[in-house]
Amino acid sequence: MVLPAAFAVGTVAFEGVVPEDTPVAVVPASGDVTEADMQVAEGVLALAADPQRVDSPERAAALLHRERVYAVVRVPANVTADAADPAVFEYRVSGSVVPYVKPSRAIAAQVERGLNDPDGVVSPHRPVEVRHVVLAPSVGLREYLTPAALVLLAVLVGLGFLPRLVADERQALPRLRVESSLTSVLAAKLIAGLALMVVPLVTVAGVVTYLSYDVHPLNPLAVVAYLLLVVHVAGVGMTVALALERRTATVLNLGLVIGLLLAGNPVYPRGFFSVVRGRVAELVPLHHAAVAVRAGVLRNSAVAPLATELGVVALAALGSLVALFGTARLVTEGPQ
């Protein structure tokens, strides 16, 4: 209860922070948009975000859905023309990424000021209007924290509870070498842990239905990503518990919990705090799992659009299993 509450307080605290490094897609609004128009938009956006040019609105929408970008800026034609009517930009954000919605309004206003600056990059000057558009579904903080809580629970159980069960078995290695296979014992514990982790999903589904939250915790994409994340982190935690002495393993797994939550950006948009942290998050399977769970729970997404993210988490889960059962074999065949 304490950790989810801390996430909630942190989200509120940073709701007014204006990030400078979140990736945004820059896309032409029509075929009449010129290279000069795009360069003007990118030049101003670079002061408040990390602009990435995209060739079509469809591609930009797909990137927004996958949280590869956190806004789509539609650039109108003839931005630099000498005209009296305003050039209308659209700064589109997803209403399901709550920590970015309020800061994005400030960014849109900042971009509008930059484009209307007489001494800025637009010459000759034409009036510019930047419309801030929040795309459906639009959710509140309480809904947004639902997938975050599921991801947090997966990490805590995978690196906290299940490794303790393995540590108990480590004390019985001589008996296991004679009476049964350590591999089969580990597999049974992992399967039991997965079955146990279904209970929170069902519980959350019941609670949010009762509270009339517009979320979908039993969405197939969310369920698959959530369970793959459990396998991944549990595999890592159980490997550590099997290979190391109990106290050392506990400390290391606790460090992994903290490290994953800091590096994986499970709550805030990638690049919210810095480009470096955004790039680090891309390397952490937890981040990809969080994006997939969020897409399923908040946007009721199908599996196909998030196939890449699921693939990353699945490969990480497979790697964890290989490490776990490889370590089990080494321990079993070690000195008696």
* CATH fold of the domain at 16-135: abc type-2 transporter like fold (3.40.1710)
Is a pLDDT exceeding 70 seen at residue 137?
yes
Q: What is the DSSP string of 32-72?
A: T--HHHHHHHHHHHTTTSEEEE-S-HHHHHHHHHTTS-S-E
2 or 83, greater pLDDT: 83
Nearest 5°: the CA angle 220, 259, 328 is 75
Q: Where are the domains of the chain?
A: 16-135, 141-332
Smallest CA-to-CA distance from 110 within 15, 24, 45 is with 45
**Structure token digits, residue 308:** 């890449």
Q: How confident is the model at residue 11 (pLDDT cuts 50, 70, 90)?
A: low
Q: Are 158 and 232 in contact (CB under 8 A)?
A: yes
Residue 137 DSSP SS3 = coil
Torsion, Cα 188 243 260 296, to 10 degrees, reads -20
Tell me the pLDDT tens digit for each residue of 236-289.
Answer: 999 999 999 889 999 999 999 999 999 998 988 888 888 888 899 999 999 999
Residues 6+ apart with CB under 8 A from 43: 121
Residues 6+ apart with CB under 8 A from 204: 146, 149, 150, 217
Distance CA 113, CA 128 (A): 9
Q: How confident is the model at residue 179 (pLDDT cuts 50, 70, 90)?
A: very low
Q: pLDDT above 70 covers what percent of the chain?
A: 88
Is a pLDDT exceeding 80 seen at residue 169?
no
Chain CA centroid to CA 248, Å: 30
